C-alpha cells in the first residue's frame, strides 16, 4: 500500500505502474484485470449512468487491446461488431448511419466490414509500446430509433470474444447552437461528455483516462457537481484542473461496493471528505490530493485495510491525523492504529506539526518500503521495532527533535535500505558500526546532531554510498588512527558528496583523501581543527566541483596538483594559515565561480592569470600579505558580480581605471592597503555597486563627481586617506546611501545638509580640520568667510590709525603680537603632528568642566589629570558627557605623551579603543600653554575600579563582575590589541596595558585607553631601535615585560606579556604588585597552584563566595565545565606571560581561545538552574554598534561572539539540493 501525506510525487502524465499493478490482459492469456468492468450509479427515475471501469473507459483503449463494443438498444448481443481498424492519433472518425453495418470511415479512409470485427484504437505505429491514443472525436451520427446505446468491454479470449452487456444509456449531445443531437463526443480533445437524461452527465478525460459523473441540474457545464470519479487501474491519473466542483458528494460509496480505484487529484474540490468513502470495501487506491478539502480526516478511513495507495496531500485538512498528510496543518500525535494497515507500502507524514513519539506499532508494517516523517516536531527515541522493518528502502526523520542513542544493531536487519535521512535532530552517542550491514545505502545524512566519537571505519563497506553528511556534529579525530575512516571510504566507488564541516576533527588531513572516488564532486571539511598541509595529490579528485576547507589551521602552500581541478567551481579555503605564492597556473581553473582565500598568509603578487577565470562570481583575497598592484585583468571578468575583496594586504599603485568594466559588481573592498593616486572617474561604470570601501590608503585628490552617479550605493568608506577639496553636495542626492565615512582626510569647505548628511548617525566626518556648516548635531563651526575677511580689514585699519597716533602704542602692540606669534608658532609642529583631530577652545573646556572643579576630578597621575565634563553642542541644544585629560606640561614627558597619543589614535578606529572626541592645544587664561585631550566619558570607570573597589562596603557590593563579564572584557581587550598589532593601518605598540587603562562604557564594553607611551612599529629594525629603545623603561611596574627592564626594544610581545598579567589579575583579583607577594613571590607563581587542584585558593574571593555552589559540587557536569573555564583562563595567562618573548601566544590565538572559553561558559550557564543561574549570568547587556569605521573594523575582526563557524557551514549547505 502506498500512503502519501506529503506533496505528491506522481507525475502529471500517466506514471509507471506501482504496487500491485499489472499490465492489462492481452489475447495471449496474460494476467487478467479486476473482474468488475463497469461501475453503475443509480439515479432512480432519471435513468442509469453507466461508466466503464477497467483499462478501457468509454472509448479509450489501453496499450494491450481492451475493446469497446457499441450496440443499438434492443439488438441482440450477436449483432455484428464494428470492423477491425487502426485509427491514427488525433484524427476525427465517425460512423455514418447508412454505413453502420457496412464500413467504418476515418478521415477519408474506408475499411470494409469484416464478419467478426473489433474496433482497436492504437498509436500511429501500431506497436504495443506506443502511447495511449488521443482521439479527437468519436461520434455516432445515427439518428433515431438509435436513441440509446449500450457500452460494453470485450476481453480477448480463446476463440470467441468475451463481452458483458449492461444497462442502456440515453446519449444526448448539446452542440454549439443549442441543438440536441444523439451521440458521443469528446470535448476539447481531452474530455468526453455523455449527457444522461436532462440532469446527469458522464465526463471522461482521454489523455489521462479519468472519468467523472456530475450533476448538471443547473445546466452549467463549467461548474458541474461531482458525484463520482474514477480511472483505470493501471494509470494513477488525474482529473484536469478545469473542474471546479464545489464539493464532493456524500453519496459516493453507496452503491460502489466493487470500486477499486478512485482518482480525484488536482481539482478544486472543497468541503469535507465524505465519510461514505469508508464504505468502499474493495478500494485499493484513493487520490484526493491537490484540492481545497478541509476539516478532519474521517477516522473510519482507517478501516480500509485493502488500501494500497492514499494521497490527501496539498489540501487544507486540519486536526489530529488518523492516517497521514504532508503540507497540511496536522497536529497531535501519530495514531498507533496506522500499524494495522499491513498492506501499506509507503507512509509519508512530512511537513506537518505532528508531535510526540513515533508509535512503535509502525514496526508492524512489514511491507513498508518508505517511511517519511521529516519536518515535524516529533521527539523521543526511535522505537526498536522500526529497525526490524526489513523491507524499508527509504527512512526519513530529519528536522525533528528526536533524541537518544542509536542501538548498536540499528541497521543490522535493514538489507534493502537505500536512503537514510536523520539530520537535524538531537541524537547523541556513537554512530553504530552496524550501518555497514545496510550495504545498499546510497544516501546517509547524520548531520546537525550530537553524535560523538570517531567515524566508524565500517562505512567503507557501503559500496553504493553516494552522499555522506556528518556536518555539525561532535565527531572527532586527532591522531592517524582516528582518520582511518577516510581510508575506508576510498572503497566507496560511487561517492559523490562528503560533508563533515563544523565537527571536532583535528590532526593532519590524511593523504588517503586524495584516493577517494573519482566521482566525488563535493568535499567539505571546513570549520574543524585540522592542521598540517594539504595532501600533495588532492588534485586526483579530478571531478571535484566544490572544495570547502575554511576555518582550519592548514599550513603550507597550494599543491601543484591543483591544476588537475578542471571542473572545480568553488574553492573555499579562508581563515587558515596557508602561505606562499599563488601559482600562475591557478588561472587554469577556468570553471571556478567562488574563490575565497581570505584570512591566510599568502604573499607575492596577485596572479594576473586570475583573469582567465571567466566564470568567477566572487573573489575574496583579503587579509593576506599580497604586494604589488591590483591586476587589471581581474576587472575584465564579465561574471564577477558579487564581491571583489582585496582589503588588508600590502597592495600598491592606484585603483585601476579598468574598474569601470565591472558592470555588475555589488561589493568592492580595497581598504587597508597602500594604494595611492586619485579615485578613477571610470568607477561610475559599476552601476550595481552597493558597497565601496577604500579607507586607510594614501588616496589623494577630490572625490570624483562620477562616484555620485552610482545610484545603488549603500555604504561608502573613504576615511583615513589624503583626499581634499570640497565634499560634493551631490553625495546627498544618492537615494540609497545610508552610511558615509569621510573622516580623517583633508576636506575643506561647507558640509552639505541634504540626503545622507541630514542624519548624524549615518555620516562620519571627524578629522577634517577645515570643514564647516552641516547639521547642528555635527557641532561644526559656521561658514562665515566674508565676515571674517571684513573683520581682518577693520583690525588692520585700526592698527594703522593707532600707529599714527602714538609710537608707544605701536611698540606695545607689536610686542604683544610678537609674543603671541611666538607662542602660536611654537604650537605649529604639534598641530601638524596631531592632524586629523578637531580642535576645541580652552574656554569651552572651562565651561564643560565647571572651571576644572575638584568635584569633577576623576583621577590624576604624573602626566596629568582627568576631569568629567558636559560639552554643549554647537547651538547649545544638547550636551554630551566627556572626559578631559589635561596634560601637566611642566613634566617633560607630558608633551611627548600628548603627541604620541594623538598620533597613535589618528587613524585607529575600533570599538574597543577609546575614541578622541576632540583636542585642545591653546593658551589658558594666564597665558600659559595648555594641552588637553577630550574622550567619550566611560560611566563605569576602569577595570581596576571593579577588580579593586574602594573599601566602602556598599560600593564594593555594587561593583562586582561575574565570570562571564570578566571573560567578555578580556576578549574585548584582546580584540583591541589584535587590531593595534595586526589589523590597523599601522602597527601600534601600546606599551602600558593594565587594568586602569581598560575603561568600561555604559554597556560594560571594554575600551583600551591611555596611549601616552604608544609607539608606531616600523619595519626596519634600525628605526625600531632608534624610536623605541632610546625611550628607556616603558610601561608600569608589575605589568611591563621583563625585557623592557634591560633596555630591549618595545615590541608586540611586550604588550602580550602585559595583557597576560591582566588576565591573571582579572581571574585572581590580585594586583601584580600586591603587598602579599613577598619573598620573591610573583602573581604568576601565586596562581600556578590553581592548575593543580587548588583552584579555590587562587580564584578571586568574590567569585568563590558568590559561586560556592558550583565550586563545591565539581562533579556536576556544568560545574565541571565552569571549573575548566577558570583553569583555561589561568593556563592562558600563564602561557602568555612567559619570560621569553618568542614563547608568548599571538593575539589571534588568544582570541580564538577566549571564544572557546566563553562559549563553554555560556553552555554551562544554561544548564545550571536555581542558585547556579543567579551566579553565572547570561552576560552583559546587549551591545550597541559603534559608529563609523569602528563598527566596520569590529565586523572584520569578528568582535561578536556568535556562531560564525556554524553560519558559514549552513551557508555552504544552502547551496545544495539535498533532501
Assess whether 423 carries a catalytic annotation. no
Task: Give 89's contacts (C-beta < 8 A, 6+ positions apart).
Answer: 123, 124, 133, 134, 135
User: Other CB atoms closer than 10 Å to residue 74's CB: what's the count?
Assistant: 10
8 A C-beta contact, residue 847 and residue 867? no
The count of other CB atoms within 10 Å of the CB of residue 778 is: 19
Among the listed residues 482, 992, 1001, 1055, the single catalytic one is 992
Query: What is the rounded distance in angstroms from the CA atom of residue 468 to the CA atom of residue 455?
Result: 11
User: Can you tell me whether residue 367 is helix, strand or coil?
Assistant: coil
In degrees rounded to 5, what are phi and psi of residue 170? -70, 135
* C-alpha cell recorded at residue 675: 594604494
Cis check for the bond before 145: say yes or no (omega within 30 of 0): yes
**Which ranges of 916-962 would DSSP assign to H, the alpha helix?**
943-947, 953-958
Of 703, 655, 708, residue with least CA distance to 677: 655
Size of the chain in residues: 1219
Name, in order, each residue with C-beta under 8 angstroms of 786's C-beta and a sequence gap of 6 or more: none
What is 497-536 written as a DSSP string?
EEE--SSEEEEEPPGGGGGS-TT--EEE--SSEEEEEPPT
Rounded to the nearest 5 degrees, what angle is found at the Cα of 104, between the Cα atoms of 99 and 108?
105
Considering only CA atoms, which of 1216, 1059, 1065 is closest in space to residue 1147?
Answer: 1059
Farthest-apart Cα atoms in the chain, separation: 150
SS3 63: coil
Beta strands per DSSP E along 828-962: 857-860, 864-872, 879-887, 916-923, 929-936
Alpha helices (runs of H) in 177-220, residue ranges in sequence order: none
**Alpha carbons 668 and 619: distance in angstroms, whole number:** 10
Could you tell me where the beta strands, DSSP code E, fall in 434-586?
443-445, 450-453, 467-469, 474-477, 497-499, 504-508, 522-524, 529-533, 546-548, 553-556, 570-572, 577-581
- Strand ranges inside 608-681, DSSP E: 618-620, 625-628, 643-645, 650-651, 667-669, 676-677
**Whose CA is closest to 62, among 188, 241, 259, 206?**
206
Adjacency order of strands within the sheet including 857-860: 857-860, 864-872, 879-887, 929-936, 916-923
Q: CA nearest 204: which of 175, 231, 171?
A: 231
Cell of 690: 552597493
Task: Give the three-class secondary structure for 244.
Answer: coil
CA distances from 29 to 24, 52, 81, 232, 454 (A): 10, 22, 22, 20, 59
Residue 8: CB atoms within 10 A of its CB come to 21
Place of cell 554510498: 465
CB 676 within 8 A of CB 653: yes
Q: Kindly state the cell numbers that stand for 263.
A: 482518482
Does residue 407 contact residue 388 with C-beta atoms inside 8 Å?
Answer: no
All three cell numbers of 106: 476515418
Say how far apart CA 228 and CA 211 lie, in whole Å: 8
Name the residues annotated as catalytic. 992
Amino acid at each position: 500500500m502506498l500512503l502519501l501525506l506529503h506533496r505528491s510525487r506522481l507525475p502529471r502524465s500517466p506514471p509507471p505502474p506501482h504496487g500491485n499493478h499489472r499490465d492489462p490482459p492481452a489475447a495471449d492469456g496474460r494476467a487478467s484485470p479486476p473482474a468488475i468492468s463497469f461501475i453503475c450509479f443509480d439515479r432512480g427515475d432519471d435513468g442509469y449512468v453507466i461508466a466503464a471501469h477497467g483499462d478501457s473507459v468509454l472509448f479509450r483503449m489501453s496499450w494491450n487491446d481492451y475493446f469497446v463494443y457499441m450496440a443499438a438498444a434492443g439488438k441482440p448481443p450477436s449483432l455484428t461488431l464494428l470492423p477491425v481498424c487502426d485509427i491514427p492519433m488525433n484524427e476525427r472518425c465517425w460512423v455514418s448511419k447508412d454505413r453502420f453495418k457496412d464500413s467504418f470511415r476515418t478521415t477519408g479512409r474506408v475499411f470494409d466490414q469484416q464478419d467478426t470485427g473489433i474496433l482497436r484504437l492504437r498509436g500511429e505505429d501500431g506497436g504495443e509500446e506506443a502511447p495511449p491514443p488521443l482521439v479527437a472525436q468519436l461520434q455516432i451520427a445515427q439518428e433515431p430509433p438509435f436513441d440509446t446505446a449500450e457500452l460494453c468491454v470485450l476481453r480477448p479470449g480463446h476463440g470467441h470474444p468475451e463481452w458483458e452487456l449492461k444497462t442502456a444509456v440515453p446519449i444526448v449531445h448539446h452542440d454549439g447552437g443549442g441543438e440536441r443531437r444523439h451521440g458521443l463526443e469528446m470535448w476539447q480533445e481531452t474530455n468526453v461528455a455523455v449527457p444522461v437524461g436532462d440532469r446527469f452527465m458522464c465526463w471522461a478525460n482521454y489523455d489521462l483516462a479519468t472519468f467523472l459523473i456530475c450533476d448538471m441540474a443547473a445546466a452549467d457545464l463549467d461548474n458541474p457537481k461531482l458525484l463520482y470519479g474514477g480511472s483505470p487501474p493501471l494509470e494513477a491519473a488525474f482529473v484536469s484542473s478545469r473542474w471546479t466542483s464545489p464539493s464532493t458528494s456524500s453519496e459516493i460509496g453507496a452503491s460502489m461496493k466493487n470500486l477499486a480505484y478512485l482518482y480525484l487529484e488536482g481539482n478544486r474540490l472543497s468541503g469535507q471528505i465524505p465519510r461514505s468513502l469508508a464504505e468502499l470495501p474493495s478500494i485499493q487506491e484513493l487520490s484526493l490530493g491537490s484540492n481545497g478539502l478541509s476539516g478532519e480526516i474521517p477516522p473510519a478511513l482507517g478501516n480500509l485495510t485493502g488500501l494500497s495507495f492514499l494521497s490527501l496531500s496539498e489540501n487544507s485538512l486540519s486536526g489530529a491525523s488518523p492516517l497521514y498528510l504532508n503540507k497540511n496543518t496536522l497536529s497531535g500525535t501519530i495514531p498507533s492504529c496506522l500499524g494495522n494497515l499491513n498492506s501499506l507500502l509507503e507512509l509519508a507524514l512530512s511537513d506537518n506539526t505532528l508531535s510526540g513519539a513515533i508509535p512503535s506499532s509502525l514496526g508492524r508494517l512489514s511491507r513498508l518500503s518508505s517511511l517519511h516523517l521529516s519536518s515535524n516536531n516529533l521527539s523521543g527515541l526511535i522505537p526498536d521495532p522500526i529497525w526490524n522493518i526489513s523491507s524499508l528502502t527509504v527512512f526519513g526523520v530529519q528536522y525533528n527533535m528526536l533524541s537518544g542513542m542509536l542501538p548498536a544493531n540499528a541497521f543490522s536487519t535493514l538489507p534493502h535500505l537505500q536512503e537514510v535521512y536523520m539530520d537535524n535532530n538531537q541524537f547523541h552517542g556513537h554512530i553504530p558500526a552496524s550501518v555497514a550491514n545496510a550495504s545498499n545505502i546510497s544516501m546517509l545524512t547524520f548531520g546537525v546532531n550530537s553524535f560523538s566519537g570517531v567515524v566508524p571505519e565500517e562505512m567503507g563497506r557501503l559500496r553504493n554510498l553516494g552522499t555522506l553528511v556528518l556536518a555539525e556534529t561532535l565527531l572527532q579525530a586527532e591522531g592517524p588512527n582516528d582518520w582511518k575512516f577516510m581510508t575506508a571510504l576510498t572503497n566507496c566507488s560511487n561517492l559523490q558528496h562528503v560533508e563533515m564541516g563544523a565537527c571536532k576533527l583535528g590532526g593532519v588531513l590524511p593523504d588517503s583523501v586524495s584516493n577517494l572516488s573519482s566521482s566525488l564532486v563535493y568535499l567539505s571539511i571546513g570549520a574543524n581543527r585540522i592542521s598540517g598541509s594539504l595532501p600533495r595529490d588532492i588534485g586526483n579528485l579530478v571531478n571535484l566541483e566544490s572544495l570547502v576547507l575554511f576555518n582550519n589551521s592548514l599550513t603550507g602552500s597550494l599543491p601543484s596538483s591543483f591544476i588537475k581541478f578542471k571542473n572545480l567551481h568553488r574553492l573555499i579555503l579562508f581563515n587558515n594559515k596557508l602561505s606562499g605564492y599563488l601559482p600562475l597556473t591557478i588561472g587554469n581553473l577556468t570553471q571556478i565561480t567562488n574563490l575565497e582565500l581570505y584570512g591566510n598568509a599568502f604573499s607575492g603578487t596577485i596572479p594576473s592569470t586570475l583573469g582567465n577565470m571567466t566564470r568567477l562570481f566572487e573573489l575574496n583575497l583579503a587579509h593576506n600579505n599580497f604586494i604589488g598592484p591590483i591586476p587589471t585583468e581581474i576587472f575584465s571578468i564579465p561574471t564577477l558580480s558579487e564581491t571583489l575583496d582585496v582589503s588588508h594586504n600590502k597592495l600598491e599603485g592606484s585603483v585601476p581605471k579598468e574598474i569601470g568594466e565591472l558592470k555588475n559588481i555589488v561589493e568592492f573592498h580595497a581598504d587597508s592597503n597602500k594604494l595611492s593616486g586619485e579615485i578613477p572617474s571610470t568607477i561610475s561604470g559599476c552601476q550595481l555597486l552597493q558597497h565601496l570601501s577604500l579607507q586607510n590608503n594614501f588616496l589623494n585628490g577630490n572625490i570624483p563627481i562620477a562616484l555620485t552617479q552610482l545610484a545603488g550605493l549603500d555604504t561608502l568608506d573613504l576615511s583615513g586617506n589624503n583626499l581634499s577639496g570640497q565634499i560634493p553636495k551631490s553625495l546627498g542626492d544618492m537615494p540609497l546611501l545610508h552610511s558615509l565615512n569621510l573622516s580623517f582626510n583633508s576636506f575643506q569647505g561647507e558640509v552639505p545638509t541634504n540626503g545622507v548628511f541630514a542624519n548624524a548617525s549615518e555620516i562620519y566626518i571627524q578629522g577634517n580640520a577645515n570643514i564647516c556648516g552641516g547639521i547642528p548635531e555635527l557641532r561644526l563651526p559656521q561658514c562665515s568667510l566674508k565676515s571674517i575677511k571684513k573683520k581682518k580689514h577693520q583690525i588692520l585699519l585700526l592698527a594703522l590709525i593707532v600707529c599714527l597716533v602714538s609710537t608707544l602704542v605701536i611698540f606695545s602692540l607689536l610686542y604683544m603680537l610678537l609674543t603671541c606669534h611666538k607662542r602660536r608658532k611654537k604650537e605649529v609642529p604639534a598641530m601638524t603632528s596631531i592632524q586629523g583631530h578637531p580642535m576645541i577652545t580652552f574656554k569651552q573646556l572651562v565651561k564643560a568642566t565647571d572651571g576644572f572643579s575638584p568635584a569633577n576630578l576623576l583621577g590624576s597621575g604624573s602626566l596629568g589629570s582627568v576631569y568629567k565634563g558636559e560639552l554643549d553642542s554647537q547651538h547649545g541644544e544638547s550636551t554630551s558627557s566627556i572626559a578631559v585629560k589635561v596634560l601637566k606640561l611642566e613634566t617633560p614627558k607630558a608633551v611627548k605623551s600628548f603627541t604620541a597619543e594623538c598620533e597613535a589614535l589618528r587613524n585607529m578606529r575600533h570599538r574597543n579603543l577609546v575614541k578622541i572626541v576632540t583636542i585642545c592645544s591653546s593658551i589658558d587664561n594666564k597665558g600659559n600653554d595648555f594641552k588637553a585631550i577630550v574622550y567619550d566619558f566611560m560611566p563605569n570607570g576602569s577595570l581596576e575600579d571593579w577588580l579593586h573597589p574602594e573599601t566602602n562596603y556598599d560600593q564594593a557590593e555594587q561593583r562586582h563582575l561575574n565570570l562571564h563579564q570578566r571573560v567578555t572584557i578580556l576578549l574585548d581587550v584582546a580584540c583591541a590589541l589584535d587590531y593595534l598589532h595586526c589589523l590597523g593601518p599601522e602597527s601600534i605598540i601600546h606599551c602600558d596595558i593594565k587594568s586602569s587603562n581598560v575603561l568600561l562604557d555604559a554597556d560594560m564594553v571594554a575600551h583600551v585607553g591611555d596611549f601616552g607611551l604608544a609607539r608606531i612599529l616600523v619595519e626596519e629594525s634600525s628605526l625600531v631601535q632608534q624610536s623605541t629603545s632610546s625611550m628607556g623603561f616603558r610601561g608600569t611596574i608589575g605589568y611591563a615585560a621583563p625585557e623592557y627592564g634591560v633596555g630591549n626594544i618595545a615590541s608586540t610581545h611586550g604588550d602580550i606579556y602585559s595583557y597576560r598579567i591582566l588576565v591573571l589579575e582579572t581571574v585572581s583579583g590580585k594586583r601584580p604588585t600586591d603587598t602579599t607577594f613577598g619573598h620573591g613571590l610573583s602573581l604568576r607563581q601565586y596562581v600556578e597552584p590553581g592548575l593543580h587542584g587548588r583552584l579555590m585558593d587562587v580564584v578571586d574571593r568574590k567569585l568563590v563566595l558568590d559561586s560556592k555552589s558550583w565550586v563545591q559540587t565539581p562533579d556536576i557536569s556544568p560545574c565541571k565545565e565552569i571549573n575548566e573555564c577558570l583553569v583555561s583562563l589561568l593556563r592562558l595567562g600563564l602561557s602568555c606571560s612567559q619570560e621569553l618573548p618568542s614563547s608568548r601566544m599571538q593575539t589571534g590565538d588568544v582570541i580564538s581561545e577566549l571564544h572557546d572559553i566563553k562559549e563553554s561558559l555560556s553552555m554551562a550557564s544554561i544548564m545550571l538552574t536555581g542558585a547556579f543561574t543567579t551566579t553565572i549570568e547570561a552576560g552583559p547587556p546587549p551591545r550597541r554598534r559603534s559608529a563609523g569605521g569602528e563598527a566596520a573594523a569590529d565586523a572584520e575582526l569578528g568582535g561578536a561572539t556568535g556562531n560564525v563557524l556554524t553560519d558559514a557551514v549552513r551557508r555552504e549547505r544552502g547551496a545544495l539540493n539535498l533532501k
